[in-house]
Amino acid sequence: MEYLIEKEREFFLQTYKRLPIIVDYAKGTKIYDIYGNEYLDFLGGIAVNVVGHSHPEVISAIEDQIHRYMHLSNYFYQDVQINYASRFLEVTKYDKLFFTNSGTEANEGALKIVRRWGNQRQKNKVISFAGGFHGRTYGSLSLMDKPQYKELMDPFLDGISIVEYNDIQSFKKVVGFDTAGVFLEFLQGEGGLRKVSQEFVDELWELKSKYNFLVVADEVQSCMFRTGKLFAFEHYNVVPDVVTVAKGFGGGLPLGAILVQSHLKDIFERGMHGTTFGGNPVACAAGLATFNVLYPKMIPQILEVSEYLWKRLTEVQNKFPSKVLEVRGIGLMCGLLLNFEAIRLVEKLLEFKIIANATARNVLRLVPPLVITIEDVDKFISGLENALAKV
């Protein structure tokens, strides 16, 4: 292990704090290291592996597509792209989409849509929220407030205001007729599993009606039924103008998308936006297979296991009230607010062969594969209680 760790340090820019595990293979909800140790995965590739690792239907779809072709570019009509777009859009309220390679690329494209739409109406200001995470490219970083991601990298894009999350008064101070768009995570991932309140959303939509701006829902982490619905915003009875997705959308391969309502379907002219690899046919095959595994047949199981996990997490909170302050999130995108740094609990969980991660300093984030079972939850809770007792 030490040899490989040393080689990683030799060859890679040191931007990741990796877990001390050298993976051999992964299957279902488990990861296996080169020494034969089995780990229960409650990180899911950071909300990517929604149907677990090495799902046979996803592997079969990937293999079939690889034997047809792996890459052509977007100069060609490709049935696998069209099939996935059609299948996905038919269960949404959106008219068209644009395939990307990642979440940050989807948000960059959404920002271009907002600015282009706004400049046609003498609007160019954009509002986003503290604690949000939209990616690590420049447009996305410009929407974020966390110094860790931005230090000594300025200047960032002008015309962007970052206001407090869930604070309508803070929002009202900057919104106006010059506002082109608002970027919102209805459920923040990196921001500590905080969800927006219904009251805030209701007032936001009233202001949207008054000032005529676009709302972009960043669903990169929360899409693909992770909250029990396809998108987190569906819990709020609103329909944003633009939605960005990625992570689980590609079934384990790099794929994202921008979805737009019908009034934005002609926002771009030919050549105005594009990508070489976005909508890669192998990634689309994996994404389509993943979607078909999940919808509709797995939704009842997701809801059942989600409810059970929350019940057990609440029991843990009651058992360790001085350490666990709150159970947060929606569905299988949830976490524990702790009264100490969450990395300590992450490290202790690893001793019990459980993988999770920390976010917002004192929040344990849980984004497991959506195929976890009641038995997986019980095993996780047992390890969590043992870890909390010793942390």
CATH code for the domain of 18? 3.90.1150.10
**Of 218, 155, 213, which is closest to residue 191 (Cα–Cα)?**
218
| Strand pairing category for 214-218 and 96-100 | unpaired
Q: Which of 247, 265, 294 is the last residue of a domain?
A: 294
Question: What are the pLDDT tens digits along the chain (391 aa)?
Answer: 889 999 999 999 999 999 999 999 999 999 999 999 999 999 999 999 999 999 999 999 999 999 999 999 999 999 999 999 999 999 999 999 999 999 999 999 999 999 999 999 999 999 999 999 999 999 999 999 999 999 999 999 999 999 999 999 999 999 999 999 999 999 999 999 999 999 999 999 999 999 999 999 999 999 999 999 999 999 999 999 999 999 999 999 999 999 999 999 999 999 999 999 999 999 999 999 999 999 999 999 999 999 999 999 999 999 999 999 999 999 999 999 999 999 999 999 999 999 999 999 999 999 999 999 999 999 999 999 999 999 9
Tokens of 163: 């206001």
- The answer to whether residues 44 and 20 belong to one domain is yes
Q: What is the largest CA-CA distance in the chain?
A: 61
Residue ranges in the chain assigned as alpha helix (H) = 2-11, 44-47, 56-68, 79-89, 103-119, 138-142, 147-150, 168-172, 198-211, 281-294, 299-319, 342-351, 374-390
| pLDDT at residue 1, rounded to an integer | 80
- The answer to whether residues 356 and 248 belong to one domain is no
Q: Which of 294, 314, 342 is the last residue of a domain?
A: 294
**Of 107, 108, 82, which is closest to residue 96 (Cα–Cα)?**
82
- The answer to whether residues 223 and 307 belong to one domain is no
For the stretch 297-300, contacts whose Cβ atoms lie closer than 8 Å and that sit 24 or more positions apart, written own/partner, are: 298/225, 298/370, 298/371, 299/225, 299/228
- The answer to whether residues 238 and 178 belong to one domain is yes
- The answer to whether residues 278 and 136 belong to one domain is yes
Q: How many helices (H) and strands (E) does the chain have?
A: 13, 15
- The answer to whether residues 84 and 225 belong to one domain is yes
- CATH number, domain with residue 93: 3.40.640.10
- The answer to whether residues 212 and 287 belong to one domain is yes
- The answer to whether residues 215 and 256 belong to one domain is yes
For the stretch 70-78, contacts whose Cβ atoms lie closer than 8 Å and that sit 24 or more positions apart, written own/partner, are: 70/280, 70/281, 70/282, 71/277, 71/280, 71/281, 71/282, 72/281, 73/276, 74/274, 74/275, 74/276, 74/278, 74/279, 78/279, 78/281, 78/284
Q: Are 45 and 249 in contact (CB under 8 A)?
A: no
Distance between alpha carbon 180 and the CA centroid of its chain, in Å?
Answer: 24
| Number of independent structural domains in the chain | 2
- The answer to whether residues 21 and 70 belong to one domain is no
Name the 3-class secondary structure at 82: helix
CA distances to 37, 151, 154, 219, 336 from 134, in Å:
35, 16, 17, 10, 22
DSSP-assigned beta bridge partners for residue 217: 184, 243
Task: Confirm whether pTM is higher than 0.95.
Answer: yes
d(CA 21, CA 31): 10
CA distances to 99, 326, 344, 345, 354 from 361, in Å:
33, 14, 10, 11, 19
Tokens of 260: 């737009």
| pLDDT at residue 291, rounded to an integer | 99
Q: Which of 263, 294, 325 is the last residue of a domain?
A: 294
d(CA 63, CA 169): 53
* Burial bucket for residue 151 (CB in 10 Å: 0-12, 13-18, 19+): exposed
- The answer to whether residues 81 and 141 belong to one domain is yes
CA distances to 28, 44, 196, 362 from 49, in Å:
9, 5, 25, 24
- The answer to whether residues 24 and 46 belong to one domain is yes
- The answer to whether residues 169 and 49 belong to one domain is no
Name the 3-class secondary structure at 244: strand
d(CA 29, CA 373): 9
Residue range of the domain that includes 278: 56-294
Residues 6+ apart with CB under 8 A from 88: 97, 257, 291
**Of 324, 309, 46, 325, which is closest to residue 189 (Cα–Cα)?**
46
Name the 3-class secondary structure at 257: strand
